Amino acid sequence: MVACPICGEKVREKDINAHIDSECKEYVNIESELPQTAPPSSTQKASGVANFFSTQTPRRVNTSSHLKNGLPSSPLAPSPAASQRPLGLAPANSNKRSLETVNGEEANDDSIPSEPVKRQRTNVFQKVAPLAERMRPRTLDEVTGQELVGATGVIRGLIEQDRVPSMILWGGPGTGKTTIARLIANTAGCRFVEINSTSSGVGECKKLFAEARSELGLTGRKTIIFCDEIHRFSKSQQDVFLGPVEAGQVTLIGATTENPSFKVVNALLSRCRTFTLSKLTDADITSILKRAVEVEGVSSPLLDVAMIQYLAAFADGDARTGLNLLELAIDLSQRPSMTAESIKQSLTQTLVYDRAGDQHYDTISAFHKSLRGSDADAALYYLARMLQSGEDPLYVARRLIVVASEDVGLADNSMLSLATAAYTSVEKIGMPEARIPLAHATVALALSPKSTRAYRSMNNAYAALQEPGVAGLPIPYHIRNAPTRLMKDMGYGKEYKYNPDYVNGNVKQEYLPEKLLGRKFLEVDDLGTKIDPDLNGALEAKEESPCDNIEEEEDERLQQLENQDLIPEVDG
């Protein structure tokens, strides 16, 4: 038993942290050494409340109803009605939990649990929680697929040295960000508080900082504030953390699925260390699912190794998705006449794609580069992936127009018209039929010859504008517009030669400013002149390709047929 530094009550040593977290309302144990009928001592009379806490009780109780004239009104003696009621039942006309059943003689019965009621409720909730929640690792050693918290991991070393810094955990869904944050707090013995952007404003955060300062001053225990999906916090919410984090009053652990360099303010990012969590492999997910099957005690021939591996591949690196799929498969396997194929058909894959996040930009980048590299198969894969995940088809169509001018360009001018027509078609018919003109334009652009001549030439002109004094050079007078008489008198348009008036439109006339005369922006070659050294092996293999031998054999066969007059002659 130890005395709480805040309320002064006697609490078991192992429950002191939980008692403080509950604002001194939970985990209060009562001394049972005093006789139940002993009169209150002078010390107890002075305190007024101390005599009330004499035996164990599951909850801290408001003692004002048992005080009379500043002294306890003998709450230790059981009432007659209490002895006639079954243990643990309150009077029918009472809305409050009965105290006599735990403070009388029956309180010594072994049937009364020694653990607080709150913990019993937690166990009940644990049973009805989803499988993904029940299978959360309870120690750092149980975390799968993350070397950061492994035996030689960086985060494990910081915890062992009691030097847990403020950090940002960046990783995909289901990689263990929340679990690792909770285990860090539990392993380091820190007070743990979870907040989210929807319910925690600036005022709530400041209140948490004040509580953290009081906790640190009274007990010396640090406070870890866990911000899940920190990229959804506003700039003002993120800025409020700057002072407390820099002063060490709180330790911030933020979790995000987005690139923190774009979503977290630079001032806060500089005060935190960023750790990137690895995407879980199929082997990691398989290990997690096998452990869940063993813990749950499932024994179904349908949930064999092949089915577990199928679910792991379906999860795509997301442990939560894998466990949810396993939970569904367990329920389905209990049904009669259920087969493995029926279970597979009942599962719905959750495609990992965020239309406003990194997946959005990474996928469209891969799509564009596949078109540029003339890989129609890869381009179709990324196109289907975007459309299946709910991407705006007009966004994809706009990118096709860009590819038509940037990458195909002058090599095939008709591709720009095709891409524009594809955009119009998508706009008019919508999904799901819009996937057809998008696929049409995608394959055509991928198979077209490529020329970046116009694109690179435009970039040359833009680069020239960055040079000192080039952007503001005066336009030559003879090609200036002269809509008024005054402008004509000033020489605007004077001596301009109208090309259509001359043979073949050929005239001797300058169009660039005088300082840029002779400057060339238009590129000569359609593509660059570099040679990829990795192509040497491919070119040699191509020279020895069996296709050449096949063509030679075909020519020889045709020649033999001609010699045997087996090929009919065609007139003309």
CA trace torsion 38, 42, 47, 52 (10° rounding): 0
**Which residue, among 488, 486, 464, has the nearest Cα to 478 in the 3D structure?**
488
**Which residue, among 130, 159, 174, has the nearest Cα to 253 in the 3D structure?**
159
| Under 8 Å between Cβ of 223 and 211 | yes
Which residues are CB-neighbours of 447 under 8 A, at least 6 positions away?
A: 374, 376
Q: Which CATH architecture has domain 132-276?
A: 3-Layer(aba) Sandwich (3.40)
| DSSP H/E element including 262 | helix 260-263
Q: Which two tokens stand for residue 424?
A: 């119009």
Separation in Å, CA 277 to CA 143, 174, 232:
12, 10, 19
Kindly write down the DSSP assignment for every residue of 110-128, as one continuous string: TTS-SS-HHHHHHHHHHHH
Which three-class secondary structure string do you get for 481-545?
Answer: CCCCHHHHHCCCCCCCCCHHHCHHHCCCCCCCCHHHCCCCCCCCCCCCCCCCCCHHHHHHHHHCC
Which residues are CB-neighbours of 252 under 8 A, at least 6 positions away?
A: 166, 167, 224, 225, 227, 241, 245, 268, 272
**Sign of the torsion formed by the C-alpha atoms of 420, 422, 423 and 424:** positive
Q: Which two tokens stand for residue 436?
A: 């057809």
CATH 1.20.272.10 range(s) for the chain read 358-451
Q: Tell me the CATH number of domain 282-346, given options 1.10.8, 1.10.287, 2.40.50, 3.40.50.
A: 1.10.8
CATH 1.10.8 range(s) for the chain read 282-346
Which three-class secondary structure string do you get for 43-86?
Answer: HHHHHCCHHHCCCCCCECCCHHHHEECCEECCCCCCCHHHHHCC
| Under 8 Å between Cβ of 513 and 446 | no
CATH 3.40.50.300 range(s) for the chain read 132-276
Res 131: pLDDT: 86
**Which residue, among 237, 160, 168, has the nearest Cα to 196 in the 3D structure?**
237
What is the mean pLDDT of each successive set of 10 residues along the chain, which is 572 residues long?
Answer: 79 79 74 46 45 45 42 42 41 40 42 41 59 87 87 86 88 88 86 82 87 87 89 86 89 88 87 89 90 85 87 85 88 83 71 60 90 93 89 93 94 94 94 94 95 91 88 86 86 88 88 87 83 70 51 61 51 44
Q: For the whole model, what pTM was predicted?
A: 0.52
Evaluate whether the domain defined by 358-451 bears CATH number 1.20.1260.10: no
Cα 7 to chain centroid, rounded? 42
**Which residue, among 408, 361, 410, 404, has the nearest Cα to 386 in the 3D structure?**
361
- Other beta carbons within 10 angstroms of residue 111's beta carbon come to 7
SS3 193: strand
Bin 162: left if φ > 0, else alpha if -120 < ψ < 50, else beta: left
Radius of gyration of the chain (CA): 38
